[in-house]
A and B are shown apart, each in its own frame.
Chain A
Amino acid sequence: SQQGEEDPQALSIQEGENATMNCSYKTSINNLQWYRQNSGRGLVHLILIRSNEREKHSGRLRVTLDTSKKSSSLLITASRAADTASYFCAGGAPHGGSQGNLIFGKGTKLSVKP
């Protein structure tokens, strides 16, 4: 089953505009991660925010986390055509062993037009 739900499912913007994607999740998490996937290939890690953090920045990326609402948002500023990809949020959830596993949402498909 999917942990997270991204919103919107698809987003189309012009180069230079900002893109905001939202994610809601269901269960307790240790952290919330965002990944990018180009055309059905491997996932690339973008940013991780821990459950005790509220906001984090990395280059043109800004992530927020609201554990009371079980939601997160990813903002990409000054978007470029190369940002065109699917973006997934993933909750890092503990299980019995020393490692947890990632529980992914269905993703937001971002299209940035030149």
Chain B
Amino acid sequence: ETGVTQSPTHLIKTRGQQVTLRCSSQSGHNTVSWYQQALGQGPQFIFQYYREEENGRGNFPPRFSGLQFPNYSSELNVNALELDDSALYLCASSMGGQGIDTQYFGPGTRLTVL
């Protein structure tokens, strides 16, 4: 198991609501990436945080936003939830400044939007 933790494990929300997902990175890692994985699909890159700054973003609308804290943990916020936001949300931590190397994934948060 990696040292990456995510909370909560499962979450049920209704359309239009807002949600915050949390991720604690592995000790010594300063970079957190977030991915969305719809059922039967591969993970899709949402964005990445490196030393508290957004450091790259995938093709997701602005209602997906994030934060990284001084201890390198991170939050993913999604506003105005839509049914299609139902997915497994994965965070991954890695060491920055070394190019794209191995990422260590947490167990994920399963979000269901009704």
Task: Please determine whether A93 and B44 come into contact, CB atoms closer than 8 angstroms.
Answer: no
Chain B residues positioned under 8 Å from A88 (CB to CB): 42-43
Give the distance to chain B from A6, nearest Cβ to Cβ, in Å: 8
**Interface residue A70 (Cβ < 8 Å from any Cβ of B):** no
Q: Compute how far the CA of A95 lies from the CA of B31 in the bound complex, rounded to whole angstroms.
A: 15
Task: Please determine whether B108 and A102 come into contact, CB atoms closer than 8 angstroms.
Answer: no
**Interface residue A26 (Cβ < 8 Å from any Cβ of B):** no
Binds B, one of A14-22, A41-49, A52-60: A41-49
Cβ-closest 5 pairs across A and B: A100-B100, A92-B100, A104-B42, A97-B55, A42-B107
Interface residues on A, range: 20 to 34
Task: Please determine whether B42 and A98 come into contact, CB atoms closer than 8 angstroms.
Answer: no
Task: Please determine whether A106 and B99 come into contact, CB atoms closer than 8 angstroms.
Answer: no
Residues of chain B at the chain A interface (Cβ within 8 Å): 2, 4, 31, 33, 35, 39-45, 48, 50, 55-56, 58-59, 88, 90, 92, 94, 96-97, 99-108, 110
Known contacts A43-B43, A105-B42; is-contact A99 B102 (Cβ 8 Å):
no
Known contacts A101-B58, A103-B45; is-contact A42 B97 (Cβ 8 Å):
no
Task: Please determine whether A92 and B99 come into contact, CB atoms closer than 8 angstroms.
Answer: yes
Instruction: From A48, A94, A106, give the contact of B102 (CB < 8 A).
Output: A48
**Interface residue A12 (Cβ < 8 Å from any Cβ of B):** no
Q: Compute how far the CA of A79 lies from the CA of B104 in the bound complex, rounded to whole angstroms.
A: 24
Tally of contacts, chain A with chain B, CB under 8 A: 93
Task: Please determine whether B42 and A99 come into contact, CB atoms closer than 8 angstroms.
Answer: no
A-B contacts, 6 listed (Cβ < 8 Å)? A2-B42, A33-B102, A40-B88, A96-B56, A99-B100, A101-B45
Q: Compute how far the CA of A5 lies from the CA of B94 in the bound complex, rounded to whole angstroms.
A: 25
**Interface residue A1 (Cβ < 8 Å from any Cβ of B):** yes
Task: Please determine whether A43 and B105 come into contact, CB atoms closer than 8 angstroms.
Answer: yes
Task: Please determine whether A98 and B55 come into contact, CB atoms closer than 8 angstroms.
Answer: yes
Chain B residues positioned under 8 Å from A33 (CB to CB): 102
Chain A residues positioned under 8 Å from B4 (CB to CB): 42
Q: Mark A7-37, 1 if CB is under 8 A from B, else 0.
A: 0000000000000000000000011010100
Task: Please determine whether A42 and B90 come into contact, CB atoms closer than 8 angstroms.
Answer: yes
Give the distance to chain A from B66, nearest Cβ to Cβ, in Å: 14
